[in-house]
Structure 1
């Protein structure tokens, strides 16, 4: 499988696809195109998440002091378990392809 293939022409919602899923690690491909997390919702995960933007751009906002990071192609970030965050913006005119690794 190629992470840049099989991308639908229309993306009414974000796509979340497991590439690997075991009892200790999960690797997920995420495809966004202008998608965001609703402003009143936060990700609050039991696992740590290492994420890299392979293509496109995005912004991730953290609940601590409303800190926001702008990620571009190649940028990566480690989000600790229970560090509340949300996707506040993804580039609207092209796909943003993420690779997320969830681990304990």
Structure 2
């Protein structure tokens, strides 16, 4: 067994977002996402359910045409097939994403 810290090495990239797989087991994938404020909004429509929690920072997402603001501690379930886009994000925002395949 190995322990790690979600906040270690969590410096934001200069642009975009950095996705790091923390755990991949059977139908479960857990990622840490570190965001720069300099992002290019991209629409995602995923084949799997995704549960996200904002650990640090804030962001505005567009989910199925609706604007949703997330602050530290907020979480959201994105069912498979739901279009979603990160429209704005704070520099250094730290997310945890749980994908259920």
Structure 1 and Structure 2 fold alike (TM over 0.5) = yes
Q: 1:28 to 1:9 in 2, by over 3 A?
A: closer
- In the alignment, structure 1 segments of 5+ residues that lack a partner are none
1:96 alignment counterpart: 93
2:67 alignment counterpart: 68
- In the alignment, structure 2 segments of 5+ residues that lack a partner are none
Query: What is the distance in 1 between the residues matched to 2:12 and 2:79?
Result: 33
RMSD: 1.6
Any runs of at least 4 consecutive aligned residues in structure 1 with deviations exceeding 6 A, and if so which?
none
Contact 2:15–2:37 at 8 Å: present in 1 too? no
TM-score by length of structure 2 reads: 0.87
Structure (1 or 2) with the greater strand fraction: 2
2:58 alignment counterpart: 57
Q: 1:101 to 1:35 in 2, by over 3 A?
A: farther
For this pair of structures, how many residues does the alignment match?
98
CA deviation after TM superposition for structure 1 residue 9, in Å: 6.2
Contact 1:37–1:86 at 8 Å: present in 2 too? no
TM-score by length of structure 1 reads: 0.85
Which residue, out of 5, 22, 37, partners 1:19?
22
